[in-house]
């Protein structure tokens, strides 16, 4: 499985038989998607920066639209269990703050089993997970964790400890300087040293590291 980051919470998981794209907001990838394709599209929450003049695509909720390059993909944006093209997905209800969504609204974290690798895409989650939510998510190999949003770096590190993944893929949500500061604090809380970013990450179920490892990805966003 190959992981690519397109900025904010937009992640592409490319497997042998299917491609899953998370949070392909038009404000990030444009109304046409700029060639970003996939078989399954998940949205963890409404786009915070919808295009002023949406063009094409399928209206999801009046604010977030599906880029036209992903028109043929299966769209998931709510909790539940799904099996599409031999990909197993579980949508788990989350919130974008620590007050049951009263401040910033609800969210959905998607657990994805692709090529034998278990990935959790947390979206813009704003709280630690309950035992019930952890049970829904199950075992985690790769955790895509937001940095610089509602979660403090300390809480983000606690969230990683709850999930106990082999690989952590941070998703900086703020502007470059603020993101750099948040990432620095996150690495400090994780007890790790910052590492150089890579364009994409190739993972198999047999090459996972023995201990939790944080890997930075370069943003492919063209905005």
Measured CA to CA, the distance from residue 47 to residue 1 in angstroms comes to: 26
pLDDT for the residue numbered 8: 93
CB 3 within 8 A of CB 23: no
Which of 139, 147, 161, 138 has the alpha carbon at shortest distance from 212? Answer: 161
pLDDT for the residue numbered 53: 63
Phi and psi at 221, nearest 5°, equal -60, 140
**One pLDDT digit (tens) per residue for the chain, 223 residues:** 999 999 999 999 999 989 999 999 998 898 899 889 999 999 999 888 877 665 555 545 556 788 999 999 999 999 999 999 999 999 999 999 999 999 999 999 999 999 999 999 999 999 999 999 999 999 999 999 999 889 989 999 999 999 999 999 999 987 667 778 889 999 999 988 877 889 999 999 999 999 999 999 999 875 4
Measured CA to CA, the distance from residue 19 to residue 113 in angstroms comes to: 11
Measured CA to CA, the distance from residue 174 to residue 4 in angstroms comes to: 18
Domains for the chain: give ranges and CATH numbers: 2-214 (3.60.15.10)
DSSP character for 35? G
Q: Which residues of 86-106 are buried (b: 16+ CB within 10 A; e: fewer)?
A: ebebbbbebbbbbeebeebeb
pLDDT for the residue numbered 118: 98
pLDDT for the residue numbered 99: 95
Residue located via tokens 């990805």:
217
- Alpha carbon separation from 153 to 125, 172, 181, 185, 196 (Å, rounded): 13, 11, 10, 6, 19
Report the predicted TM-score, pTM, of the whole model to 2 decimal places: 0.93
Per-residue tokens: 110: 């998607």
Per-residue tokens: 197: 């970013």
Residues facing residue 154 across a β-bridge: none
7: left (phi over 0), alpha (psi -120 to 50) or beta: left
């Amino acid at each position: 499985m190959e992981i690519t980051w397109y900025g904010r919470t937009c992640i592409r998981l490319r497997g042998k038989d299917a491609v899953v794209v998370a949070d392909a907001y038009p404000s990030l990838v444009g109304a046409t998607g700029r060639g970003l394709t996939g078989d399954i599209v998940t949205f963890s929450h409404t786009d915070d920066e919808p295009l002023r003049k949406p063009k094409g695509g399928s209206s999801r909720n009046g604010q977030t639209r599906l880029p036209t390059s992903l028109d043929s993909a299966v769209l998931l944006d709510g909790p539940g269990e799904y099996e599409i093209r031999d990909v197993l997905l579980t949508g788990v209800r989350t919130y974008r703050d620590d007050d049951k969504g009263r401040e910033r609204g609800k969210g959905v974290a998607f657990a994805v089993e692709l090529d034998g690798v278990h990935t959790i895409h947390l979206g813009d989650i704003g709280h630690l997970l309950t035992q019930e939510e952890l049970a829904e998510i199950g075992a985690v190999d790769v955790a895509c964790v937001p940095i610089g949003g509602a979660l403090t770096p300390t809480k983000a590190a606690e969230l990683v400890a709850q999930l106990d993944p082999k690989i952590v893929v941070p998703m900086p949500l703020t502007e470059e300087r603020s993101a750099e500061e948040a990432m620095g604090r996150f690495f400090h809380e994780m007890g790790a040293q910052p590492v150089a970013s890579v364009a994409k990450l190739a993972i198999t179920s047999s090459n996972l590291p023995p201990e939790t490892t944080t890997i930075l990805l370069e943003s492919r966003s063209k905005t």
